[in-house]
Amino acid sequence: MRHMKALFRIEWKLFNRIKANYIFVLFVPLMLLVSMRFVQDQMELDKHGLNPGPLMVSTAAGILMIFSLYSSVTGLYVARREELVLKRLRTGEVSDPVILAGGASMYITIAVVQIVAIAAVLSVMFGVAPRQPLAAAVGLFTGVVLMTAMAAATAAMCRTVESVLVATLPAIFILPMISGIYIPREVLPEALGDALLLAPLSPTVDLIRSGWTGELTAGGALIRSALAIAWTALFAWIAARRFRWEPRT
């Protein structure tokens, strides 16, 4: 924990040096969220038995995990590698998982605070209260761990900081489409919706939404938690095998 706190303080100081970081991490996801509200208004949610309040909570959580956490942490890992920071940290007593988790802890904190704050605001706006808070907490935890592992796996494929934008594009554009973030699976054909349950962020989105709707049974929640853990293990395995701790020559 001492090492984690030290890495968090360092990253927080570096983050505050560039004020433009606040524009990307704080305002861009919020603008996307507002735009998605208008898109979902055209989907006839009532026809499919969907409550817009819980749906907007899960949409917000998914957007923030991708933009505030995944893309930011991917860029962080690559930048610190190119600056030889990761290589120097490994020469000390800090373990590899602590280096990665400590470096990402600042963005994890920002994403969690954003999600909790927006969920509270949306709950008041739509007059809904959490019915399964444990499911929402599990969804938030699994989503954060999944996105961090996915960021490490993506960073392993990036040669330079400039290549991060290209490497993260598939997740930024495709993942929200197939995980029920932009388009609820209920409005899709049943077979397609069932297949998209296997998408990486689908279990997280379902768990968070169920935190407000209470639609998942204990078995359903366990299945989705197991899927999220499986995806996390896959990305963690890729990162463990392919992650580079110093610049490529």
Model pLDDT for residues 178-228, shown as the tens digit of each residue: 998 888 888 888 898 889 999 999 999 999 999 999 888 999 999 999 999
User: Is residue 44 scored above 70 in pLDDT?
Assistant: no
- The pTM score is 0.90
pLDDT for the residue numbered 91: 84
Q: Encode 182-199: b = buried (16+ Cβ within 10 Å), e = exposed.
A: bbbbeebeeeebeebbeb
Q: Please state the three-class secondary structure of 128-170 as a single string.
A: CCCCCHHHHHHHHHHHHHHHHHHHHHHHCCCCCHHHHHHHHHH
Residue 209 identity:
R
Amino acid 65: pLDDT? 92
Mean predicted lDDT score pLDDT of the chain: 86
Contact 227, 179 (CB under 8 A): no
Compare 165 and 1 and report the one with higher pLDDT.
165
Q: d(Cα 222, Cα 245) in Å, to the nearest integer?
A: 35
